Structure 1
Amino acid sequence: MSCSRLLIPLYLLSISLLFQLGLAIDLDSYSIYCSQSSFLAGGPYNKNLNNLVRYLDSKTPLTGFGSGSQGLGQNRTYGLALCRGDINSRDCKACVDQASNEIQKVCKLKKEAIAWYDVCMLKYSNLSFLGKIDNKNWYFEESTNFWSNPGYFNKEVIQILSTLQKEAYVSPKMYAAGALEIGNSTTLYGLVQCTRDLSSANCNICLEEAIGAVTPYFHGSVGGKIWGGSCNVRYEIYPFFNA
């Protein structure tokens, strides 16, 4: 299969897609992970966590990524927030605001949590994780529709995601998105992204693991999301990101 069919950047797509005003962000679909370990309401960890979340909420929309820690010793909390590389600061703030509210409601008094939305993620922990690959926390979601030839389709998915991987891990945003023409008049859209606390090498490793899960988990499904604590991949047969 020739790589020349890979359309990166997206401006090589049709004019109708190029000039669309932007896709509306979805804040209704999300997944949240909560740990079992808890902290005392109103205690030092609670105060540090509240300060950290406020910090991430204010810092992240400026560049699309924020990370940091608050407190000392056993009451120290670490966190990050990441917005998808194609969205503007207004939509980034809206998503991080929503994530910070929901994560503290769903994971009330839990020391560790991750909230995944289509356009942002928020993560915090009492353990130092910044700069390290999180290969324990994953969320998988697949389309209920399937391609008639799953083997062929999965090869095309791996093709586009692997090509985007090579672009993302060396880019400042650690983000890449593009499209690939497959079959008869079908376009496959893909997106990959890492949290920017990772080194380029660790971003590459994380994406390699995520892409490697496509075939066993999404065999022939025409859409799939793999959201992790350190990187995310997604593919669809419709445009889901902005040019």
Structure 2
Amino acid sequence: MANSKLFCLLPLLFIAAVVLTTQTAMAIIIPSVNPIGYNCSNFRNYTINSKYPNNVDKLLGNLASESPINDGFSSGSAGQYIDKVYGLALCRGDASNTSCKSCLDYARTAIRQFCSNNQNGIIWYDSCLLKYSEYDFIGKIDNVNKLYLSSPSPVRNRRGAFLQKRDNLLKQLAVKAAGQKSFYATEDVKFDESVNMYGLVQCTRDLSGEDCRKCLNGAIAELPKCCRAQRGGRVMGGSCIVRYEIYPFYN
């Protein structure tokens, strides 16, 4: 079996989202046909009789159906022995059941197109993520799959104060989310007279509260890699997500 890794990032979608949403007072979650990004690994030429692809399809279908009626999250497995596959699905905490289902339906179709011959795959949309693997990752922090996005516009004044406000906001949200059943938290704070800052954090619910907080704090610590003093940014992983903006993007 040969190993290979494919990574795709679509930052222009994020830039477009920044431009469009700055003009709105309330975020509206509309599932996009196009993913923000995806990651495929462990290329495998399946034999004609291999059950692994069918098990992937079965599992992703189950996750897409179960998550919307389970508060936006589900995990599980399908198959056995060398053909066993593990997976999870997560919808953003403010997504409706309908938006959650639509997003995951797009995700399961797209990930099978992008990662059709891969044993591991993850795909991110604005309002959901979907992941599968040959390895049992359930209950473990994913430190491998990461996606970094940032606004094209930097903060021009009081950068130090902006970064301190951003980090304090997200760290407070990490504590809040880790202590809640939903593993999801949002909040906005005033930066100055004309600018508010909005933050969102979320973990997959297969983690413990302690690991949720650890994952979020790790993601916050990575913000300087992608976002420096940009007006908005996010770190999206396989186990948690952190995001901040200067416009409202959640409900």
Aligned to 1:77: 85
- Asked whether 1:170 is paired with 2:179, we answer yes
C-alpha distance in structure 1 between counterparts of 2:173 and 2:55, whole Å = 37
Aligned to 2:74: 66
C-alpha distance in structure 1 between counterparts of 2:68 and 2:136, whole Å = 23
C-alpha distance in structure 1 between counterparts of 2:75 and 2:45, whole Å = 21
**Deviation digits for residues 184-213 of structure 1 (CA, Å, limit 9, x no counterpart):** 321100000000000111101100100111
| RMSD between aligned residues | 1.5
Match of 1:25 among 12, 26, 30: 30
C-alpha distance in structure 2 between counterparts of 1:45 and 1:59, whole Å = 21
- Asked whether 1:35 is paired with 2:34, we answer no
C-alpha distance in structure 2 between counterparts of 1:29 and 1:112, whole Å = 17
Equivalent residue of 2:207, what SS?
coil
Amino acid at match of 1:69: S
Aligned to 1:106: 114
Answer whether contact 1:80 1:122 (CA < 8 A) is retained. yes
Answer whether contact 2:67 2:90 (CA < 8 A) is retained. yes
Aligned to 1:225: 234
Equivalent residue of 1:111, what SS?
strand
**Deviation digits for residues 140-181 of structure 1 (CA, Å, limit 9, x no counterpart):** 011110101322211111011011111101111100011010
C-alpha distance in structure 2 between counterparts of 1:37 and 1:152, whole Å = 46
Structure 2 unaligned spans of 5+? 1-23
Q: How does 1:37-186 map to 2 (within 5 A)?
A: 37-40=43-46, 43-62=50-69, 63-148=71-156, 149-186=158-195
Moved segments of 4+, more than 3 Å: none
C-alpha distance in structure 1 between counterparts of 2:41 and 2:83, whole Å = 16
- Give the superposition deviation at 1:25: 2.1
Equivalent residue of 2:119, what SS?
coil
- Give the superposition deviation at 1:41: 6.2
Answer whether contact 2:29 2:99 (CA < 8 A) is retained. no
- Give the superposition deviation at 1:29: 4.7
Amino acid at match of 1:65: F
Answer whether contact 2:31 2:102 (CA < 8 A) is retained. no
Length-normalised TM-score, structure 2: 0.85
C-alpha distance in structure 2 between counterparts of 1:132 and 1:29, whole Å = 24
Aligned to 1:214: 223
